[in-house]
Amino acid sequence: MKIALSALSALTLQSQLVWGVYNLVREYSGQNFFTGWDFYGNYDNLTNGDAIWVNQSLASTDHLAFVNDAGHAIIKVDNTSFVPYNDKRDSVRVTTEDFFPVGSLFIIDLVHLPYGCSVWPSFWTKGPNWPIGGEIDIVEGVNQMTFNQMALHTQDGCTASPPSDQISTTTLTNCSAVAGCTVAEKQPNSFGAGFDSAGGGVWATQFDVTGIYIWFWTRSSVPSTVNSSATAVDPSTWGPPTAAYPSSTCNITNFFTEQQLVLDITLCGDWAGEPSVYQETCPASAPANASSCYLENVINNGTSAYANAYFEISYIKAFNVDSTIVGPSGTVSVSPASATAEPPAASSSSGSSSASGSGSNSGSNSSNAASAWGPTLVPTILAAALGVSALLAIYEPDYVVSS
């Protein structure tokens, strides 16, 4: 398509590439927390875990997914049933019904994280055709780890190139490797018993055309603007992120489609149950082997083994620069007032983007989403050097420069 830009429009675009305020589009909290989530209803057929992710009915009946007296959502592993040999233990995995396009930002406030030998919890995002469409691991760890690990998972061609002021440490840079491109948290109390004893903490994830950025704050250091009543946030005020994946070496719109949010807890599996990983924090009764994690934790009575294997979630919020989501009926606009309601019907003017594709929204929404943090200066410099038309030709493949 052809776009005519006046001098004023050019200045506006340049400003939007530098500053961005994200508006609330979905809130999962209180008694309505589980509205808008799908329960997996099958065994863990993704990571070879020894868990059955039960359906919503069973999760409710067995008290594995509920809202406690504090108004916090609980998602937990069954720690009361006897599990015979060769069976798996019940747990929960939930995925949002909505998809969130590039130009979104996610905040999760956790009071308690699951931990313990064999326990593998995660809060992450995925595309509709996972593993195609990208994956963002925001909170993840295993067994008795004390530090969180973040990662991206993509197809070939995406690498991590962290800026010098990234707070934590990049440990792997190839995002298409099995482990992804990982960042190891440096701040204490980011996982395990230490996280819980410190009162929990908050993660924010910016999913933007300029890159993917993750911030972590312990309870005592959460910014005042990040709270349960916030209907808009501005990440430019948060300082350097914990983990940074600039688009300079990973074109976000090429490697990521719209994303769903996922919460799950599996047991053992490819990571927690790998013998060398398991024995690092969970000494086996004998030299660890492929069965140690399962035999010493999953089977028989699980009361003590899984006493801490639960999420306690104050809230999860999703924000977007254009106040849009991709719901079951297509792309829709959402006001903060309706962020906790059922997804509204699709607007006839919202275009034909769907949850299963990377429609026109997935790239262009976030060109006015960038924060003032470091990488967003690059588009500004390009705009000045090349002119706005040339910049649009780079960032918008459908844009045609007209004379």
Decide if 358 is inside a domain. Answer: no
CA atoms within 13 A on the CB side of 149: 18
135 is an active site residue: yes
Same domain, 121 and 252: yes
* Domain's final residue, options 285, 304, 320: 320
* Domain's final residue, options 320, 352, 382: 320
Residues 6+ apart with CB under 8 A from 70: none
Question: Which pairing describes strands 51-53 and 89-91: parallel, antiparallel, or unpaired?
Answer: parallel
Question: The domain that contains 280 carries what CATH number?
Answer: 2.60.120.200
Same domain, 1 and 37: no
Decide if 38 is inside a domain. Answer: yes
Same domain, 184 and 243: yes
Decide if 189 is inside a domain. Answer: yes
pLDDT tens, per residue, the chain with 403 residues = 333 333 333 333 333 334 389 999 999 999 999 999 999 999 999 999 999 999 999 999 999 999 999 999 999 999 999 999 999 999 999 999 999 999 999 999 999 999 999 999 999 999 999 999 999 999 999 999 999 999 999 999 999 999 999 999 999 999 999 999 999 999 999 999 999 999 999 999 999 999 999 999 999 999 999 999 999 999 999 999 999 999 999 999 999 999 999 999 999 999 999 999 999 999 877 788 999 999 999 999 988 889 999 999 999 999 999 999 998 888 989 888 888 855 444 443 333 333 333 333 333 333 333 344 544 443 433 333 344 333 333 333 333 333 3
Decide if 346 is inside a domain. Answer: no
Same domain, 8 and 45: no
Same domain, 312 and 288: yes
Same domain, 206 and 226: yes
Decide if 348 is inside a domain. Answer: no
Same domain, 11 and 51: no
Question: In the chain, what's the furthest Cα-to-Cα distance?
Answer: 75
Confidence at residue 371, expressed as pLDDT on a 0 to 100 scale: 40
Residue 204 and residue 226 in contact, taking contact as beta carbons nearer than 8 Å? yes
Q: Return d(Cα 132, Cα 136) in angstroms, integer.
A: 12
Number of structural domains found in the chain: 2
Out of 27, 97, 135, 274, the active site residue is: 135
Same domain, 267 and 397: no
Residue 7 CB-density burial (10 A; 0-12 exposed, 13-18 middle, 19+ buried): exposed
Confidence at residue 286, expressed as pLDDT on a 0 to 100 scale: 78
Decide if 325 is inside a domain. Answer: no
Out of 140, 258, 296, 312, the active site residue is: 140
Same domain, 171 and 112: yes
Same domain, 223 and 140: yes
Confidence at residue 342, expressed as pLDDT on a 0 to 100 scale: 55
Same domain, 79 and 190: yes
Decide if 344 is inside a domain. Answer: no
Q: Which domain holds residue 250?
A: 22-320
* Domain's final residue, options 279, 297, 320: 320
Decide if 365 is inside a domain. Answer: no
Same domain, 14 and 46: no
Cα 19 to Cα 22, 123, 220: the distances in Å are 10, 27, 27
Residue 73 and residue 312 in contact, taking contact as beta carbons nearer than 8 Å? yes
